[in-house]
Amino acid sequence: MIKRLVLAGLLACGVSFGAAAQKLEPQDFEVRSTNDMVDLCTVAATNELYREAIHFCHGYLTGAYAYHVRLMSGPNAQNMFCMPNPPPSRTDAINKYVIWVKSNPKYKGDPVPDTMLRFLIASYPC
């Protein structure tokens, strides 16, 4: 069931951003910018590297999120964002991140952890 929801969300995102014609190469996984990450997260299910791209997208963004949460967990830390209770699913949050990047193109060349934090602050203020 979860697998179907993830696939449906990512397919919807990929279709809405026209990723169907995208050809991925192994070097695309170097993620030199936010734009590279969005390309991986929105790759069409028909792409030969689809599985690798989607797993990489989810793994990278989940790790970056966990890192930011850990930074905010110390006794003197200030929360930079506050997730709702219950929090969105990973797929929903990633889809929202992709939409946010598309609507803020000035950040496409920035490092992924930077744009992810900007997205979290803008989307989940305290």
pLDDT for the residue 9: 44
Structural domain range at position 112: 2-123
Distance CA 29, CA 106 (A): 21
Q: pLDDT class for 49, splitting at 50, 70, 90?
A: very high
Query: DSSP character for 84?
Result: -
Angle between helix 112-123 and 50-71 (nearest 10): 70
Q: What is the pLDDT of residues 76-110, one digit of tens each?
A: 888 899 999 999 999 999 999 999 999 999 999 99
Q: What is the pLDDT of residues 19-48, one digit of tens each?
A: 444 778 778 899 999 999 999 999 999 999
Tokens standing for residue 108: 């496409």
Tokens standing for residue 33: 């910018």
DSSP-derived 3-state class of residue 48: coil
Share in percent of the chain as helix, strand, coil (round to 5): 65, 0, 35
Domain tally, the chain? 1
Q: Around 126, how many Cα atoms within 13 Å sit in the side-chain half-sphere?
A: 6
Average pLDDT over residues 106-115: 96
54 vs 25 pLDDT, higher one: 54
24 vs 124 pLDDT, higher one: 124
